[in-house]
Amino acid sequence: MNEPQSKIFSCGEEFLSVREKIKSAGNKLVFTNGCFDILHRGHCEYLFQARQLGDFLVIGINTDSSVQRLKGHSRPINSLEHRAYTLASLYFVDAIIPFAESTPLVLIKLLRPEFLVKGADYQLSEIVGAEEMKKWGGNVIRLPLVPGISTSSIISRIKNIAD
């Protein structure tokens, strides 16, 4: 098993040589993205299922400033460094690539994965990169969520305990 830190790339361009090796070996790249602020069972089940679709799982992870734009000033709870290391510690995760934009579209176009995976809470029309995936023959997959588990619900429970 690789040291978690070795799975964390600074940007998509740094990952391109690995991408070429994956492609030349005939292997399939699976891409998903998110904030992954407080890692929980729902994340783990989703990521494990995503990895089963192909040979190499890459997670695009929002930077701290990107999370704050999306989720509000009180987020993220955990820094990018902590979130990336925690995800990279999972044996079925192969690479982590941070992105500062509000969406991973630039990263998706750069990596051209064979599979783009999001949770079933997204409609196909809402999935960033779905149109691009169709253009190059990639697959967009929506995976079921674990009911009742989310970072927001965990934060809410913690706040209720503190009150």
1: confidence class by pLDDT, cuts 50, 70, 90 = low
Q: What is the pTM of this model?
A: 0.93
- The helix (run of H) or strand (run of E) holding residue 139 is strand 139-143
pLDDT, position 76: 96
Could you tell me the residue range of the domain that residue 131 belongs to?
A: 4-162
Q: What's the pLDDT tens digit per position in 92-137?
A: 999 999 999 999 999 999 999 999 999 999 999 999 999 999 999 9
pLDDT, position 77: 94
- Number of structural domains (the chain) is 1
Q: What is the 3-state secondary structure (H, E, C) of 74-135?
A: CCCCCCHHHHHHHHHCCCCCCEEEEECCCCCHHHHHHHCCCEEEEECCCCHHHCCCHHHHHH
- CATH number of the domain at 48, please: 3.40.50.620
Average pLDDT over residues 27-56: 96
pLDDT at 163 over 70: no
Tokens for 160, please give them. Answer: 């209720």
Q: Torsions phi, psi of 114, nearest 5? A: -80, -30
